[in-house]
């Protein structure tokens, strides 16, 4: 990987600013984050030693509403990565026209090396360190890579203990028993599915006869793999951090999910029909649809020309660099950009937040209907603009998202 995602995010702003003729002052403004908090998180380990981890919470833009964005636990987390992810959240919320801004958080830690109690202590202390800049009216975290509903429960508990009352609206992605929303966990995968269906319809592709390759087998990659498998589509390769499995007749996704949910990695799965491949081999596997759903900067100028797919559906945030984007465009590969494709998670997070504030909970049917409505509306807007101006879907999505933010800044003015 090695590329700096913050530089990528800024380059994307420059590209869209040029395309839409954005005021240079606004371009300059949008390339900065509103605030970035760096915290030290001391954790007493189970053996009595003290470890100190570094954590971050960044607000990029809260001009249209409170910050919204996940918390990532990974040894690769750094301030620039979190800034980039916060910027992408601004565009995503704006594109879906949600009254929320862009934020993100992260802790530089390998959670697989921590016991459950250590993970809990880390989460509670991290929450306590960032408590002044989160809250239902300020910034509402959610799960991201290596964080989940249990971690959100601890965050909600710390915040609620400080306030002296239960405040479910401080985080989304919680278990339903404490104010979570039905349909939140599979929401990103669900949204990806709606976007893939819509894209295939535009291109006159029959989804069921396409071959599909997915990188990442966690919440996002695992859910979309599951949905596609259940619909009878052929998922020929999937991968996780340990590597990937390939079978041209179609993998048995249900069995693989059962295996990984027990804490196993794909590398250790035993089926002699399946070929083990590396993550870089997976990306250049011949297929119709490629879904990167792990980390950013995996499709770069170094491998873009070797890709052999027709559609890239960005499940991960920032998987394709701007240089790779150009190569893919010239090759005629359709890229459904992250800020549109994976917006299902933040969309249902928004529903969860609304339900928490109102203390009135919806049925799954309503969640999925509203999710589909919002995402398809955004898809149509992006697709139409891209056709009208003969530009990539990503540029079109950015023009819509950035225009809304620019308008909000213009209306509110720059303080003081
Ligand atoms: P997750 O932790 O549930 O799963 C991540 C998956 O990626 C795992 O299978 C892991 O083994 C794999 N992985 C990790 N490092 C890898 C590497 N170096 N190479 C290949 N695979 C690797 O995380 P998630 O929630 O599924 O998030 C995945 C991506 O989707 C991230 O980019 C995240 O920002 C984005 N995203 C997540 C959500 C959400 O609701 N969870 C919403 C929008 C976007």
> Which tens digit of pLDDT belongs to each residue from 236-280?
999 999 999 999 999 999 999 999 999 999 999 999 999 999 999
Determine the average pLDDT of the residues in 78-106.
Answer: 98
- Say what the pTM is: 0.95
The answer to whether residue 153 scores a pLDDT higher than 90 is yes
pLDDT of residue 3: 85
Q: Is 220 in the pocket of ligand 1 (CB under 6 A)?
A: yes
**Is residue 2's pLDDT more than 90?**
no
Q: Does the Cβ of 240 fall within 6 Å of ligand 1?
A: yes
Q: Is the CB of 345 under 6 A from ligand 1?
A: yes
Distances (CA, A) of 199 to 161, 323, 395, 400: 46, 23, 16, 18
Neighbour tally for 32: CB within 10 Å: 12
Ligand 1 geometric centre to CA of 161 (Å): 30
State whether the beta carbon of 283 lies less than 6 angstroms from ligand 1: no
User: What number is the average pLDDT over the span 68-75?
Assistant: 98
Percent of the chain with pLDDT over 90: 99
CA-closest residue to ligand 1 atom 37: 144
In this structure, the residue with its CA closest to atom 28 of ligand 1 is 294
Q: Are 114 and 122 in contact (CB under 8 A)?
A: yes
In this structure, the residue with its CA closest to atom 18 of ligand 1 is: 241
Ligand 1 pocket, residue 111 CB under 6 Å: no
Which ligand 1 atom lies nearest to the CA of residue 265?
A: 11
By annotation, the residues acting in catalysis are 104
Question: What domains can you pick out in the chain, each with its CATH number?
Answer: 33-167 (3.40.50.10860), 187-339 (3.40.50.720)
- Cα-to-centroid distance, 191 and ligand 1 (Å): 15
| Residue 188 beta carbon below 6 angstroms from any ligand 1 atom | yes
Q: Is residue 356 within 6 Å of ligand 1 at its C-beta?
A: no
Q: How far is the CA of 296 from the centre of ligand 1 (A)?
A: 9
| Protein residue closest via CA to atom 14 of ligand 1 | 241
Write the pLDDT tens digit of every residue in 181-225: 999 999 999 999 999 999 999 999 999 999 999 999 999 999 999
Which residue is closest in CA terms to ligand 1's atom 30? 316
């Amino acid at each position: 990987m090695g590329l700096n995602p913050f530089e990528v995010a800024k380059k994307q702003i420059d590209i869209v600013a040029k395309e839409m003729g954005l005021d240079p002052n606004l371009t300059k403004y949008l390339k900065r984050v509103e605030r970035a908090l760096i915290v030290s998180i001391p954790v007493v380990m189970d053996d009595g030693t003290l470890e100190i981890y570094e954590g971050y919470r960044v607000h990029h833009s809260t001009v249209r509403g409170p910050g919204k964005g996940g918390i990532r636990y990974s040894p690769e987390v750094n301030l620039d990565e979190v800034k980039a992810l916060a910027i992408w959240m601004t565009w995503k919320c704006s594109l879906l026209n949600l009254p929320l801004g862009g934020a993100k958080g992260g802790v530089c830690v390998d959670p697989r090396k921590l016991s459950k109690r250590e993970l809990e202590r880390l989460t509670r202390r991290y929450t306590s360190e960032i408590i002044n800049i989160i809250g239902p009216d300020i910034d509402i975290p959610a799960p991201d890579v290596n964080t989940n509903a249990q971690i959100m429960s601890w965050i909600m508990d710390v915040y609620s203990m400080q306030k002296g009352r239960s405040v479910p609206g401080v985080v989304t992605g919680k278990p339903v028993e404490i104010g979570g929303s039905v349909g939140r966990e599979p929401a990103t995968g669900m949204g990806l599915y709606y976007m893939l269906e819509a894209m295939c319809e535009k291109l006159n592709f029959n989804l069921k006869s396409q071959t599909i390759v997915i990188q990442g087998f966690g919440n996002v990659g695992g859910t979309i793999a599951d949905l596609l498998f259940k619909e009878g589509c052929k998922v020929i390769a999937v991968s996780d951090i340990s590597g990937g499995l390939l079978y041209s007749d179609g993998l048995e996704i249900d069995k693989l999910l059962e295996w990984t949910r027990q804490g196993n990695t794909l590398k250790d799965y035993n089926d002699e029909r399946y070929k083990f491949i590396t993550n870089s081999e997976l990306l250049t596997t011949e297929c119709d649809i490629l879904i990167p759903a792990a980390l950013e900067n995996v499709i770069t100028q170094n491998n873009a020309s070797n890709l052999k797919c027709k559609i890239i559906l960005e499940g991960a945030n920032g998987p394709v660099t701007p240089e790779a984007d150009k190569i893919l465009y010239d090759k005629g590969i359709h890229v459904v950009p992250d800020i549109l494709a994976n917006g299902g998670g933040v969309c249902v997070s928004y529903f969860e937040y609304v339900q928490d504030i109102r203390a009135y909970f919806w049925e799954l049917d309503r969640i999925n209907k509203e999710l589909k409505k919002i995402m398809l509306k955004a898809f149509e807007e992006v697709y139409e603009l891209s056709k009208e101006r003969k530009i990539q879907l990503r540029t079109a999505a950015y023009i819509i998202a950035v225009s809304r933010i620019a308008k909000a800044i213009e209306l509110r003015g720059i303080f003081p």
